[in-house]
Amino acid sequence: MLDTVQQFFQRVLAPAHDHHDAVTPQLAVAALLSEVLRADYEVDPQELATLREMLIRQFSLSGEQADALIAEAEEQVEHAVDHFQYVSLLNERFSYAQRVELVAAMWRLAYADNELAALEEHRIRRLADLLYVSHSDFIRTKLAVLEARG
| pTM value surpassing 0.95 | no
Q: What is the DSSP secondary structure assignment for residue 100, as one 8-state letter?
A: H
pLDDT score for 6: 54
CB count, 10 Å around CB of 110? Answer: 25
Is the separation of the CB atoms in 94 and 87 below 8 Å? no
Domain residue spans in the chain? 25-149
Residue 49 identity? A
Percent of the chain residues topping a pLDDT of 90: 71
CATH class of 25-149: mainly alpha
Q: Please name the residue ranges forming H helices in the chain.
A: 2-13, 25-38, 45-59, 63-79, 84-93, 96-110, 118-130, 135-149
In this model, does residue 98 exceed pLDDT 70? Answer: yes
